[in-house]
Structure 1
Amino acid sequence: MLKEFKEFALKGNMVDLAIGVIIGGAFGRLVESIVADIMMPIIGLLTGGIDFSNLYLQLSGAPAPTLVAAREAGATIAYGNFITLLINFLIIAWVLFMVVKAMNRFKRKEVAADPTPTKEAVLLTEIRDLLARR
């Protein structure tokens, strides 16, 4: 049973998947940091110093000065967090699009760079040349 588990856990696909998940998690944290620490302050500055993380719409209770106080007072829609997560998603989607686009470009160059004709192409060329000589 231990041998079977070892074979299962060390299969190439399983290890590749684990590496992908770990790299994906690290990439997600990196993008979150870029959005929270770099982009949102710039966007906030461009929009007049708005702090997106503290934007909310209080539905019930007494008016509150902060999001935490508004949540304690009653029903609150924290749409600032949604804006931050939306920007986060758009950045991740754009970066993944660029990665896939670059990979596709490299694949096309690989295919185009292989000038060696296939066996079938060589055979067809020989047949064409023989028929042309007749």
Structure 2
Amino acid sequence: MSIIQEFKEFAVKGNVMDLAIGVIIGGAFGKIIDSLVKDIIMPLISWILGGDVDYTNWFVVLGDNPGNIQTLKAAQDLGLNVFAYGSFLTVLINFLLLAWVVFLLVKVINRIRKTEPAVEAPAATPEDIELLREIRDELKRRPQ
């Protein structure tokens, strides 16, 4: 068997295709969650805390701070060592929301699987029964 044929068999197996589809949908879903956090949840938190808060600019300069640096980008452009807890907070909320949604999806899928009636394959006839049937059939074929 050629390597190309082996690759074709590998690539079209159900698990590989399922994984590829899952990665593509997961990437798109991650963008949805990211937008949810940036565009809906963080502005709500800002409103609750009172004021327009830019979480990406929540940082602490570790070491000497030459002047009054206002943005994280400016601090990073100057090569300063910064503790960017605002960006981390946003990513953490993204992760928690994504994990929560995946958890809920798994629960729904598991519930659907439980409610579907299990289709059982007929039990295979035991080998000794098959042998007895062959003997019976052979005895019927013989003249008396």
Fold-level similarity (TM above 0.5): yes
Q: Tell me the distance in 1 between the aligned counterparts of 2:30 and 2:73.
A: 26
Tell me, yes or no, if the aligned pair for 2:61 and 2:83 is still in contact at 8 Å.
Answer: yes
Aligned to 1:69: 74
Tell me, yes or no, if the aligned pair for 1:64 and 1:73 is still in contact at 8 Å.
Answer: no
Q: Tell me the distance in 2 between the aligned counterparts of 1:100 and 1:68.
A: 39
Aligned-pair CA distance for 1:73: 5.5
Aligned to 1:53: 56
Percent of pairs with identical residues: 50
Aligned to 1:132: none
Residues 1:109 and 2:109 aligned together: no
CA RMSD of aligned residues (A): 2.0
Alignment map for 1:1-134 (pairs within 5 Å) = 1=2, 2-49=4-51, 50-59=53-62, 60-62=64-66, 63-71=68-76, 72=78, 74-111=80-117
Q: Tell me the distance in 2 between the aligned counterparts of 1:26 and 1:10.
A: 23
Larger Rg: 2
Aligned-pair CA distance for 1:15: 0.9
| 1:64 match: secondary structure | coil
Unpaired runs of 5+ residues, structure 1, are: 120-134
Number of aligned residue pairs: give it: 114
Q: Tell me the distance in 2 between the aligned counterparts of 1:108 and 1:4.
A: 36
Unpaired runs of 5+ residues, structure 2, are: 124-144
TM-score normalised over the length of structure 1: 0.75
